[in-house]
Amino acid sequence: MNSEKFNIFKFHGKMKVLHLSWMAFFITFLVWFNFAPLLQAVKETLGLTTDQIKTLLILNVALTIPARVVIGMLTDKYGPRLVYSWLLALCSIPCFMFAMADSFIQAAIARFLLGFIGAGFVIGIRMVSEWFPHNELGTAEGIYGGWGNFGSAAAAFTLPTVALLFGGEDGWRYAIGITGVISLLFAFIYYTNVTNTPKGSTYFKPKNVGAMEVTSKGDFFLLLVMKIPMYAAIALLAWKLSPSGVDMLSQTVVTWIYVGLAALYAAEVYKVWQVNKGIFTKDVPELHRYNFKQVAVLDILYFTNFGSELAVVSMLPLFFAETFKLDPVLAGLVAGAYAFMNLMSRPAGGWISDKFGRKSTLMILTAGLAVGYGLMGLVDGQWPLWLAVALAMGCSFFVQSGEGAVFAVVPLIKRRMTGQIAGMTGAYGNVGAVTFLTVLSFVDYSTFFFVIAATALVGLFTLLFMKEPRGQIAEVAEDGSVHMIDVG
């Protein structure tokens, strides 16, 4: 592990890898969210209906849930350097497709495929974990996540202006096309400037890439249970596209999607069995065990914090506009304070976790999240606007710091499976977003915030079953040698 001093202003060694990795993540979010600030122009140029625009927004996130799982597995197998570079390069293609789309169907296919770039986040989690020692890992992962996540805000701030510079009704095409060019170029920059590990370090790979390894019979069944919500979220998205939702797909097609998801889950159960059937005939040596319960707890926490962030960012401008009778521009600026906190909050969560312990940090931040959303549920038009904005910013600190604290723990569970664990945890964030936005479609704003607060209390309860990462974990290199890695 690289032992050079942590200095954020340096650009060599582990700090160079950190900076290039958050830039890669930043670009994935810039591309993934390049549509939202330009949707009005896209709507007018392509002659789309409001329901079709909503459908494009749904399709933009539909593929991200399975993509994060798949990308996590590929990262563990082939290394973050190669996988990040290929992801940036290949996803520039649907970006260009969307920029050149002339119909709703073309735009829909492009946005669906672009959901894959939303999986880029999990790649850098593994890369950063290879370069930083355990006592700096939370801070480094927080910087990676917080600064990279700002790509969505950068898209909102810059792309409308870029579109105006090119002028005409096709200005948005050039703005979106430029993000694709940036992604393609940075793929080569990343590949030529990073390595998977510091010189002399070993890159540990999982024994099997087709399914997550577990080390006990109880964990085998818990893994199968934890897979169900990911399929359920995709089924929920299909329902939204059905005649009961935005009526894009016929009921017959949606029914076949349900059947396909059931078949995929059955196939995954079989694959998990193939990879792990040995644990039913022979106990895994204590030295090589890990507790999947740790992963399940992190999944639930990320469902709440990142899931609520994605959902709240989507609805907060409208919430402020309707609650305080603000015009859309001012409401957007006020609501933007929530997302802007990412630059500071996520690194802060990782840093606090490094200094004061993983479990205690998560408990405090999750409790703060519950209180914050509980208070947001009390906001109405009688509140001073400044107090409501301050509360939203305070709430976002606990939300985003919690995200940083979650991913301070992810790399400390089992090094060779960090990509898979990060992929599953990250996917749960998207499952949370789908769930909370669906809840919002049935209830008022106040109830929506209370539901998130209640979910946080569930997360707080599950934390009672989490163990503080301590001591060392054992990893086996390809030559059969056993390496001990410090985790706390």
Encode pLDDT of 400-411 as tens digits.
999 999 998 988
Q: How far is CA 13 from CA 9, 82, 83, 127, in A?
A: 12, 18, 20, 13
Encoded amino acid at 320, one letter? F
14-26 b/e with 16+ CB inside 10 Å = b?
Answer: bbebbbbbbbbbb
Predicted pLDDT at 440: 85
* The model scores a pTM over 0.85: yes
Under DSSP, is residue 253 helix (H, G, I), strand (E, B) or coil?
helix
Predicted pLDDT at 484: 66
Pairwise CA distance, residues 331 & 316, whole Å: 8
Domains in the chain, please, with CATH?
Answer: 1-203 (1.20.1250.20), 217-289 (no CATH)
Under DSSP, is residue 471 helix (H, G, I), strand (E, B) or coil?
coil
Predicted pLDDT at 474: 60
Pairwise CA distance, residues 448 & 243, whole Å: 25
Predicted pLDDT at 242: 83
Under DSSP, is residue 269 helix (H, G, I), strand (E, B) or coil?
helix
In a 10 Å sphere around its CB, with 0-12 CB exposed, 13-18 middle and 19+ buried, how is residue 192 labelled?
exposed
Residue ranges of alpha helices (H) inside 100-250 are 104-114, 120-131, 134-149, 151-166, 171-193, 217-240
Encoded amino acid at 418, one letter? T
Predicted pLDDT at 488: 60
Backbone angles phi, psi at 247, to 5 degrees: 60, 45
Predicted pLDDT at 472: 61
Backbone angles phi, psi at 2, to 5 degrees: -65, 130
Residues in the chain predicted with pLDDT less than 70, given as ranges, are 1-4, 246, 328-329, 471-488
Predicted pLDDT at 185: 97
Q: Which residue in 223, 234, 292 sits closest to 263, CA to CA?
A: 234
Pairwise CA distance, residues 417 & 409, whole Å: 13
